[in-house]
Chain A
Amino acid sequence: MTRAAATRVSLLVRLRDSQDSAAWSQFTDIYGPLVFSFGRRYGMQEADAADLVQEVMGQVARSIAKFEYNPQLGKFRSWLYKIAKRAAGRQYSKRQRQPQGTGDTAIVDTLDQIPDASVDGEKIWKRQYRTQLLTWAAEQIHDQFQPHTWQAFWRTAVEGQSPQAVAEQLSLNVGSVYVAKNRVMKRLAAKVREIDDTL
């Protein structure tokens, strides 16, 4: 059975303990880049996106206790999106008052064109959220596998090559490729669930 996944409390629950600084550090590693790229997509310059990260992380720290950990009520993903969106909105209006480099009208123009200003925003967020979690989880477990196991997974699942072709490239039999792929995927899923099991 998946012992680790079943007994381990997910990161989101651990965050509610403000003293768990290991959890906070992990949280920042995972979600900081997500918020950063969200800000960049919102038309922000790097420095502004960095501010956004700082603000969103602070907000989460202050209000995570209020986040009801109940998958029925709402997912963490959406909650974080709301916070990020709100912070971005605030920053946007702040920037409008203190025009910098970019110039007001330019910002308005880009803001109109970027997908996040529309209903698609959350869809894109959802996809990036998953990608970010998977990227992080993949980095975490990468070293636990033999190179050829990892390659079998990567080439089939990520690059979308056929198991037969990959078997040939790696001089494995086809069955081993299937086993390798599924073994990595399972570990990957468990790792992701350690962070957010509402995904």
Chain B
Amino acid sequence: MNCPELDLLQQLVDDELADELRDQLVEHLSLCADCQKRIDSSAETKLWGDALSDLNTCPNESSLLEKVLANVKSSLDPWQKEHPTQSMYSGISAEALAWTGDGFELIAVLGQGGMGIVFKARETSLDRVVAVKVLSPKFAVDPSARERFLREARAAAAVNHPNVVTIHAVSDSGPLPYLVMEYVAGETLQERLDESGMLPTSEVAHIGGQVAAGLSAAHNSGVLHRDVKPANIFLDENTRQVKLGDFGLAMVCGQSQLTKTGMLAGTPTYVAPETLDPAAKPDHRADLFSLGSVLYAMCCGRAAFEGHSVVATLHQIANGQPTPVAEQNPNVPAWLGDIIGKLHEKDADLRYQSAEAVQSALETHALGSIDVVPPPARQVRSQPQRERNGSRLAIFVAVCVVAAVLAVLSTVWTRVPEDFSVFNDEGALVGSFADLSEAVEMAPDGSRIEIQGDGPYFVEPMTLTQRSLTLIAAENCEPVLRFEFEDNHEEDETCLIAEGDLSLEGLSLVCEVGDEVGFPCLVHASEGAFHADTCRFIIGPQGSCLVCNTEHPIVLMDCELHAVGGDCVELLTEGEDRVELEDCLLTGGVAIRIPEPQSCEIVLANCTLVAHEVFELFDEEAEVTGEQTIHFLTEDCAFKAFESVVAMNTPDLSREAFMQLIEWTGTRNVFSGPLLAVLEDESRQIVSWCQSIEDWFSVTAETDSTYSDEPFPVADEELWELLEVPEELDTEIFDREITAGEVD
């Protein structure tokens, strides 16, 4: 037999051949070494390498691990936490469970109301998690109720909008009709309100605007909701998206809420007055009244219309006026109170006439309120700095005027947006605050401060005394914290002193240093560990981004540090420091300064460092004893120095002493500019034993690294875009230090 084609060998592996041919081929394969090689080379063997032989080693067995895995699984599934499986089926009729054989696998019960049950289930054919609403058997036997259920569900299914819970399917095939809906992971607005009471205005506007958008889409397709209430508003915990569910279904089983007492329990709080009048024909504006009640509940933490009994509540809705929002919560801005008042008009003609109009009213004001009311600190503090030469009296008058204006304004515009939300270590909201220092003061140990907005926020220097604290940007926000010093600052002031562990995520920290300030720094990690992820640090024209004086790990990932005329990172500890930078960009006078000889480890992976001196070692008086070793581990980095990559302040540095002091391990790095210089009486001398890249490679352990005279990986213009300096910051300070002309 001749050697078969590769295709045929493949078919043999895939078991796609007739028996006879297969046997022939196998026999040939037993004898033909060539074909044995060919069949092996087409396999994925090479991909795995020695990993396959690792299969032979015993895997990690731990009963604790098993438990953790089970725990993790249930904690990733928020519904299972709230609806423990033991009680899952209690109180549910056997008929209601009947449909589960129908291509669904039951996961949990989400809710049970008068008209039916909602399950969380897995649709086995598509392997997706859905919510299934099954009509209660007691209504399913009534053909007209059944008909209405299906009709309403089909109408709602036609609405396709991100703020409306999608209906995937409607079924009437089994004993109980049901509909299959999108499952929204997260809580309902009702649960949120139960947990945190009133919500900050920005949140009210956000949720209200999205509900209005969803209603608008439904109304435009001719679908009324008829039961807008917090329990039907779902907050997606992953996207912050708000979704309105349960369209039209409330009415299916009880047309008049007054007559069917079974439907009343807990629900009439949000209905519109016209729905109570058997003669009236409620239209889409009834949904808007309910939306007003939802907004009211978010602002005040309680319902607008509340009586001691169902009848008393209905009486309130029909005839009463709710307590004005401002009386319940003085923090609610007047415009929001006005919107709610207009939605609560008993006469539908006096309300907003469309959900769209409500949406745009909420959105316009929500934006406007932030623009119109500047943070007071900014007015008062920036004034004296800008007019430094003016007389003290003028400044005093200006401050008084501003204060007076603010006092007047505060009666009209009662609120500054509360963008700083504090969550404790269990994730519960402690409170929302208008400025960072207040939030920090109220933040317990281990908490997380989430910043919901871009700012710029004007911040005074502060000390964080918590053992551990996280400052994090809310989703889709890029907050800028601008630090400003008081006029009577001390020298070398620090913007943020961390006395414990500090993590920053997604923030920009900016400080424009005035003439009178010495050499300040943005962050001083003085005790605990410091982590920064996707942050930007900008300081100039002098000062450092980060001063580390801690024995705990310093880790920066995806960060940019720009210290114009100063240091990006300064390592002060005389201990076993470890600094780790990954995917970072550093520009400045010095990228990393180590003032005292010390043993430390500097790990740089995939970083770009552009500076006059990338590494500056030791103050002038420092003595190198030969006992310390600075360990550099660098991988995929680019170093560009205008003066030298490593600058030493120790004049009599021999090649041997250098090699003893610096343990450099590098892979795939790119260097540009002079490599090693010694500073001597203000002048820089490139040391004789390190004048070429070959010399450099001979004193360091570099593999696959290169030297480049080409423009650097980060061209200066690109650097500009990367900087994205806030407009108010005088950008000339950046020009001065890093220009193309100085590159030579």
Residue of B47, B56, B65, B603 ringed by the most chain A CB atoms within 10 A: B65
Contact check, A28 vs B69: say whether CB atoms are below 8 A apart: yes
Main secondary structure of the interface of B (DSSP, over half): mixed
**What's the minimum C-beta distance from A1 to chain B, rounded to whole angstroms?**
9
Chain B residue at smallest Cβ distance from A199:
B47
Contact check, A33 vs B59: say whether CB atoms are below 8 A apart: yes
Docked CA distance A36–B68 (Å): 10
- CB neighbours (8 Å) of B552 from chain A are 93, 96
Contact check, B28 vs A175: say whether CB atoms are below 8 A apart: yes
Contact check, A189 vs B553: say whether CB atoms are below 8 A apart: no
**What's the minimum C-beta distance from A121 to chain B, rounded to whole angstroms?**
10
Chain B residue at smallest Cβ distance from A137:
B55
Task: Digitize B106-145: 1 where CB-to-A-CB distance is under 8 Å, 0 elsewhere.
Answer: 0100000000000000100001110000000000000000
Contact check, B129 vs A135: say whether CB atoms are below 8 A apart: no
**What's the minimum C-beta distance from A89 to chain B, rounded to whole angstroms?**
5
Q: Does B312 contact A (CB under 8 A)?
A: no
Known: A24-B73, A89-B529, A94-B468. A158 touches B56 (CB 8 A): yes
Known: A32-B65, A97-B467. A61 touches B52 (CB 8 A): no
Q: Does A148 contact B (CB under 8 A)?
A: no
Known: A134-B48, A183-B15. A90 touches B72 (CB 8 A): no
Docked CA distance A19–B467 (Å): 35
- CB neighbours (8 Å) of A97 from chain B are 467, 501, 528
- CB neighbours (8 Å) of A131 from chain B are 51, 54-55, 57
Contact check, B26 vs A65: say whether CB atoms are below 8 A apart: no
Task: Digitize A18-33: 1 where CB-to-B-CB distance is under 8 Å, 0 elsewhere.
Answer: 1111101100110011
- CB neighbours (8 Å) of B127 from chain A are 20, 22
Task: Digitize A83-98: 1 where CB-to-B-CB distance is under 8 Å, 0 elsewhere.
Answer: 0001001101110110
Known: A20-B128, A54-B72. A134 touches B27 (CB 8 A): no
Known: A21-B76, A158-B53. A182 touches B13 (CB 8 A): yes
Contact check, A53 vs B39: say whether CB atoms are below 8 A apart: no
Task: Digitize B37-77: 1 where CB-to-A-CB distance is under 8 Å, 0 elsewhere.
Answer: 00110111101101111111101101011011101110111
- CB neighbours (8 Å) of A69 from chain B are none
- Choice from A47, A82, A94 contacting B501 with Cβ under 8 Å: A94
- CB neighbours (8 Å) of A117 from chain B are 578
Q: Does B531 contact A (CB under 8 A)?
A: yes
- CB neighbours (8 Å) of A163 from chain B are 36
Known: A33-B59, A158-B53. A57 touches B553 (CB 8 A): no
Docked CA distance A96–B552 (Å): 9
**What's the minimum C-beta distance from A55 to chain B, rounded to whole angstroms?**
10
**What's the minimum C-beta distance from A12 to chain B, rounded to whole angstroms?**
15
Docked CA distance A122–B40 (Å): 29
Docked CA distance A82–B606 (Å): 13
Known: A19-B129, A37-B60, A179-B12. A135 touches B55 (CB 8 A): yes
Q: Does B660 contact A (CB under 8 A)?
A: no
Q: Does A101 contact B (CB under 8 A)?
A: no
Q: Does B87 contact A (CB under 8 A)?
A: no
Q: Does A159 contact B (CB under 8 A)?
A: yes
Q: Does B318 contact A (CB under 8 A)?
A: no
Known: A18-B238, A19-B129, A179-B12. A53 touches B68 (CB 8 A): yes
Contact check, A22 vs B122: say whether CB atoms are below 8 A apart: yes
- CB neighbours (8 Å) of A158 from chain B are 52-53, 55-56
Q: Does B185 contact A (CB under 8 A)?
A: yes
Docked CA distance A141–B178 (Å): 37
Q: Does A50 contact B (CB under 8 A)?
A: yes
**What's the minimum C-beta distance from B186 to chain A, rounded to whole angstroms?**
9
Q: Does A77 contact B (CB under 8 A)?
A: no
Contact check, B64 vs A178: say whether CB atoms are below 8 A apart: no
Q: Does A157 contact B (CB under 8 A)?
A: yes
- CB neighbours (8 Å) of B122 from chain A are 21-22
Contact check, B185 vs A18: say whether CB atoms are below 8 A apart: yes
**What's the minimum C-beta distance from B28 to chain A, rounded to whole angstroms?**
7
Q: Mind listing 22 A-B residue pairs with CB under 8 Å?
A: A18-B238, A19-B184, A22-B127, A24-B73, A28-B73, A28-B76, A32-B69, A32-B72, A33-B69, A47-B64, A58-B76, A90-B501, A90-B503, A127-B50, A130-B51, A134-B48, A157-B52, A174-B36, A175-B28, A183-B15, A185-B44, A188-B44
A: which residues have CB within 8 A of B? 17-22, 24-25, 28-29, 32-33, 36-37, 40, 46-47, 49-50, 53-54, 57-58, 61, 65, 82, 86, 89-90, 92-94, 96-97, 108, 117-119, 127, 130-131, 134-135, 138, 157-160, 163, 167, 173-176, 178-179, 181-183, 185-186, 188-189, 199
